[in-house]
Amino acid sequence: MFDGVIVVADDEKVQRETVASVLRELGHTVHEAAGGEQALALVAGHTVDLVITDLRMPDLSGLDVVRRVKQMQPDVEVVVVTAFGSVEGAVEAMRAGAADFLTKPVDLDHLELLVRRLLSHRDLVRENRALRRRLQESRREFRLLGDSPAMHEVLARASRAAETDATVLILGESGTGKELLARTIHDLSSRAEGPFVAVNCAALPETLLESELFGHVRGAFTGADRDHRGRIAQAAGGTLFLDEIGDVPLPVQVKLLRFLQEREYTPLGGERSLTADVRVVAATHRDLQALIEDGSFREDLFYRLDVVELRLPPLRERREDIPLLVEHFLRRYADRYGRPARTVSREAMDALLKHDYRGNVRELENIVEQAVVLCRGEVIHTDDLPGTVVRRNRGGDGCEPSPADYEGDLPGFLERLERTIIERTLLRCDGNQSAAARRLGLTESGLRYKLSKWRQESDGR
Q: Quote the pLDDT of residue 136.
A: 61
Strand partners, 242: 199, 282
Within this chain, do residues 301 and 327 fall inside the same structural domain, yes or no? no
Last residue of a domain, one of 125, 158, 183: 125
Whether residues 202 and 276 fall in one domain: yes
pLDDT at 327 over 80: yes
Domain containing residue 388: CATH number: 1.10.8.60
pLDDT of residue 425: 77
Based on the fold, state whether residues 295 and 337 are members of the same structural domain.
no
Highest-pLDDT range among 124-128, 256-260, 408-412 = 256-260
pLDDT at 87 over 90: no
The CATH number assigned to the domain holding 457 equals 1.10.10
Given 393, 424, 453, the domain boundary residue is 393
pLDDT band at 128 (very low <50, low <70, confident <90, very high): low
Find the mean pLDDT for residues 25-29: 91
The β-bridge partners of 240 are: 197, 280
Structural domain including 9 reads 5-125
Interval 178-229: pLDDT, tens = 999 999 999 889 998 899 999 999 988 887 899 999 988 888 787 778 888 8
Domain assignment of residue 306, yes or no? yes
pLDDT of 250: 94
Residues 378 and 425 in one domain: no
Where among 364, 393, 422 does a domain terminate?
A: 393
Quick one: which of 242, 240, 239, 126 has its CA closest to 189?
A: 239
Q: Is residue 400 domain-resident? A: no
Structural domain contains residue 401 = no
Whether pTM exceeds 0.75? no
Higher pLDDT among residues 95 and 28, named by residue: 28
302 and 323 share one domain: no
Asked whether residue 339 falls in the same domain as residue 378, the answer is: yes
Residue 399 lies in a domain: no
Nearest Cα to 381, choosing from 329, 345, 339? 345
What is the Cα–Cα distance from 132 to 128, expressed in whole angstroms? 6
What is the arithmetic mean of pLDDT over 80-91? 76
CA dist 391 and 318 (Å) reads 22
Confidence label for 171 from pLDDT (cuts 50, 70 and 90): very high
Q: For the domain that residue 15 is a member of, what is the CATH number?
A: 3.40.50.2300
What is the percent of the chain with per-residue pLDDT over 90, rounded to a whole number? 42
Question: Based on the domain organization, do 103 and 199 belong to the same domain?
Answer: no
What pLDDT sits at residue 7? 95
User: Does residue 403 sit within a domain?
Assistant: no
CATH code, 278: 3.40.50.300
pLDDT at 115: 92
pLDDT > 50? residue 328: yes
Beta strands in 60-192 (DSSP E): 77-82, 100-103, 168-171
pLDDT tens column, 408-459:
566 766 777 788 788 777 766 667 788 788 778 888 888 888 887 776 665 5
Q: Is 300 inside any structural domain? A: yes
**Is 135 part of a structural domain of the chain?**
no
Tell me, yes or no, whether 165 and 87 share the same domain: no
Is the model more confident about 427 or about 76?
76
Shared domain for 286 and 191, answered yes or no, is: yes
Angstrom CA distances, 317 to 154, 324, 353, 381, 386, stand at 14, 15, 11, 24, 22
Q: Clarify whether residues 305 and 321 are in a common domain.
A: no
Confidence tier at 270 by pLDDT (50, 70, 90) = confident
Q: Say if CB 53 and CB 77 are below 8 A apart.
A: no
Amino acid, res. 179 = E
What does the mean pLDDT of the chain come to? 85
Residues 155, 110 share a domain: no
Say yes or no: 299 and 346 in one domain. no
At residue 220, the pLDDT reads 76
The single-letter DSSP state of residue 106 is: P
Is there a domain that residue 424 lies in?
Answer: yes
Domain count, the chain: 4
